[in-house]
Amino acid sequence: MSSKPFPMLIFILKTCIIISLLTLKAAAKETIEIGAIVDFNSRIGKEQKTAIAIAVENYNHDSRNHKLMYVHFRNTSKDAIQDLFTAEDLVDKNNVKMIVVGMQTWEETALVADIGKRHQVPIISFVTASYTPELVQLKWPFLVQMSTSSLEQINCISAIVRSYQWRRIIIIYEDDMYSDSSMLAVLSETLKGDGAEIEHQVILPQTSSLSEPREVVRREVVKLLRKQSRVFVVLRSSVSTASHLFKEAKEIGLMGRDSAWILADSLADLLDSVDSPFISSIQGALGINNHYAEATKSFQDFKGQFQKIFRSDYSMEDHSEPGIHALKAYDSITAFAKAVNNLDTKSSNDSKLLKNRILSSNFTGLSGQVSFVDGALSHPSTFRIVNVVGKRYKRLGFWSSKVGFSEVVEAENGERIQVNGSHTMKSSEVKWPGELSRVPKGWAMPTDSKPLIIGVPGRTSFEKFVKVEKVANSNERKYSGFCIDLFKEVLKILEQNYTLPYEFEPYDGSYPDLVQQVINRRFDAIVGDMTILAERIKYVEFTQPFAESGLTMVVPVKFDGSEKAWMFLKPFTISMWIVTGSILVYTMLVVWFMEHQSNPEFRGRWKDQLGTAMWFTFSSLFFAHREKIKSNYTKIVVVVWLFLVFVLTSSYTASLTSMLTVPRLEPSVKDINWIKRTNTTVGCDGDSFVKDYLRQVLELQNIKNISNQEDYPKEFESGNIKAAFLEIPYQKVFLREHCNQYVVAGPNYRFGGLAFVFQKGSPLARDVSEAILTLTQDGTLNNLEERWFSLSRNCDNVDASNETESLTFGSFWGLYLVSGATSTVCLLFFVWRLCRKSRQQSQAYYDSVVHPSTNQSFWTKTARIIQYYQNDKPAVSLRRVTSGRVAGLGVDEKGSSSKWHLVSPSDAAQVFDGSSQHPPQSSLEMGNLRSE
């Protein structure tokens, strides 16, 4: 019995010793105190408080850590000054080494950052600063931003707007003078780069400071009904303010068809925790929330801890899943813990070194990669695009600045793999507000109760484009013209997608004033002959032009005979005349060469032969030649030549006839310089922009307004004006009705074309443009032009400015080639035949002529050879011509000395003809010729 108490005593002593050792070990650990200022009443504050508590608990239970961490939680008071005192108290009384700031406004964060700067205590914030990171570091060197630049989210919003081709948007944000104003400026510039703009901005006050927040929000929302844009971007808002906003917007119809809502991360990140009425009020909205890896083991462990504690502490909350705010709060404590562990005991009190160690962090946390540059997170955010549908939302895809819109696959290690990067979002998967099956126009679309008000020019110069007539015994008006018919054809195409109720309203003012009515929003659009101008396109939206536009000068025609003296040369170009003359001379020489051998009509003296050949060739131009052709080769040449002559004369006659008609339409005024020098009066439509253009650009002074197209001829005939300036569509109509009386002179001053007008940013302008292109491609537009602008029956030549061009050698070179080649081939055959015939001559005579005595000179030999080939006779006779015998040959009888002459057989035949008075004389031997 006495031995039993001893073992029990030993056990008690051991237990006491162990407890004492553990207590001493715990007491030996250094305790580091930190502060956390969060909103205990908001969902974000609750998540942050739970996450910070879990991070501290995990740190303290890690045996590898030789320090303990203790957190002092403080609740925000919604008063920036009170929060300033709270931070001051944490530093002075609790001696905290770091403060985690969970405020959601930069105003409150900046005040606490001043405390950190003054006491050199690191301040970790989750709000993006309104300044650049470099400036923040200079002004608040102890501030650590657990957030990325807001530029990433702004670019994401702009990418969505660009993807759906929305041109105008309305920005809504809760009042925060420190942050949202700068974000708005950056967003405005980004949207301009994508062709969009901010039409209006709504600044909502913080509902916590209002006694009747619903009435205040309603007044602001009702103002949106007067705006045309139906694309709303909630840039920043609390859940309480957004609840009033969406409730009022839904009641007045702004959450219906053709409206689009985009929620920034301030709301989209809380979609998992908001109540059902809030979700039901934003059906069809697009959300942008921060993406984080949910498949990693560390996230799943944290999620289990978070849900257990959150459900225990906040049993009234419907949802217990952690969001991005909880993950960032947890990562901020992790970054601080890693920095503390890297410091020894002596350095742990060095706050500047501690801040630098925090900023040098580089690890993968629950919210993503944690690394800092200039005091802010350096890793760009990846945003998840969601669509609010049903009781929650569905994920559409992801967006990042590197790849644009994409689908992301998460690996086990949390790495993101980009697939199918694109600059546009898929619209087929989106459920839009009002269950709209197509992409919303983002515009106040017309309805039967509120149709599209379309202005129509009531006073026009050319009524074929637009004409407004009053119906007899009625207040109704009849609208007709090319532009009206074109708009009706456009409506037929638009009705395939949606209806477009409209009403025409005439406007009797000038065209510039009519455009101003669209700018002032009296009219939604203009259907008429409106010219696209640079100063107009800044304020209104033009459709695709349906007609070309430009300013031309129309003047009466005149006939000026002084310039027509050499008109007969114009049908052919200079090269054409040269080639024609060359082929004529060549043909003449070929005909002469082949005919003068056997055709007596081409014989005689050289000048007679040349004259005959020229006369024959020129007379053949008019088919008036009378000379007989004996050689078959010559006949072939002449046949081809006559065909060439027939084609040339026919073409020449047609061209000259056309040219003699066109000169009757010569302009009476050549150019605008003459008008400036003489200060001549010109006419134009005073209701259009033309008058200002003539004065300001062309610097004309005497300008007369002409309001109707029928007045132009009267003004010309009376001499009141010398020229009229008309736009190209009007000029074409005018010349078709008054053809052969007026022509276009001077240059063409081009403009953008004729088009319909819509309010700036209206998506209807894009749809109408597509319809006009469709009508252009299927020929409907051409049919309308032919129907309204058909040519007058009395017009033979409308466009007098186009003169008939001269005929060129390129059009006839084939005929010239055939004619020249035929002549050359026939000539070659003729020479070959001549040479062959010459070889058959008497060898004796050939020797006597070709090989005379060597005493003769070279030139004498050459002359005899030429004479031989020229005569082409089988024999040559030598005779003595006496004075008595030459009488019949036309030789001077006074010549008493007898001479031997070389004559051809034909000449001999004439001399020794049996009918001659002289007896034939025998030929002399060649030896006598040599003896001479």
Residue 295 three-state SS = coil
Q: What pLDDT is attached to residue 160?
A: 92
DSSP symbols for 168-225: EEEEEEE--TTTHHHHHHHHHHHHHHTT-EEEEEEEEPPGGG-SSHHHHHHHHHHGGG
Tokens of 373: 């540059």
Q: Measured between alpha carbons, how far is residue 763 from residues 158, 372, 451, 540 in Å?
A: 17, 43, 16, 12
Residue 358 CA to its chain's centroid (Å)? 50
Residue 326 burial (CB count, 10 A): 26
Closest CA to 122 of 131, 112, 133, 130: 112
Taken as a whole, the chain contains a residue count of 932
Going from the first residue of the chain to its last (932 residues), give the mean pLDDT of each consecutive group of 10, the final group possibly shorter.
Answer: 56 62 53 90 92 93 85 85 88 90 82 90 86 82 88 90 91 69 79 87 82 88 90 90 91 88 91 88 92 89 93 88 92 92 70 89 91 87 90 88 75 49 75 88 88 91 88 84 94 90 91 92 92 89 90 77 65 82 80 71 67 70 62 77 79 76 62 82 83 85 82 85 86 81 81 90 91 93 86 51 64 80 82 72 51 55 57 42 39 39 39 39 35 32
* 265: nearest Cα among 201, 324, 203, 199: 324
Buried/exposed 684-699: b ≥16 CB within 10 Å, e otherwise: bbebbbbbebbeeebe
Tokens for 511, please give them. 């065209």
pLDDT of residue 300: 93
CB neighbour list of residue 146: distance below 8 Å, 6 or more residues apart: 124, 125, 126, 328, 331, 332, 335, 370, 377
Report the 3 state secondary structure along 405-467: EEEEEECCCCCEEEEEEECCCCCCCCCCHHHCCCCCCCECCCCCCCCEEEEEECCCCCCCCCE
Alpha carbon distance 469, 473 (integer Å): 12
CA 165 to chain centre: 15
Cα 834 to chain centroid distance, Å, stands at 75
Q: Tell me what pLDDT residue 564 has.
A: 62
Residue 285's nearest CA partner among 416, 402, 394, 401 is 394
- Contact predicate 232/169, CB 8 Å: yes
**Listed residue (121, 122, 103) closest to 38, CA to CA:** 103
Number of Cα atoms under 13 Å in the Cβ half of residue 792: 16
Per DSSP, the residues of 824-890 read: HHHHHHHHHHHHHHHHTS-HHHHHHHHS--TTS-HHHHHHHHHHHHHH--S--EEEEEPTTTSGGGT
Identify the pLDDT of residue 899: 38
Provide the pLDDT for residue 505: 93
pTM value surpassing 0.75: no
- Which 3 state secondary structure label does DSSP give 900? strand
Question: What is the DSSP code (8-state) at residue 471?
Answer: P
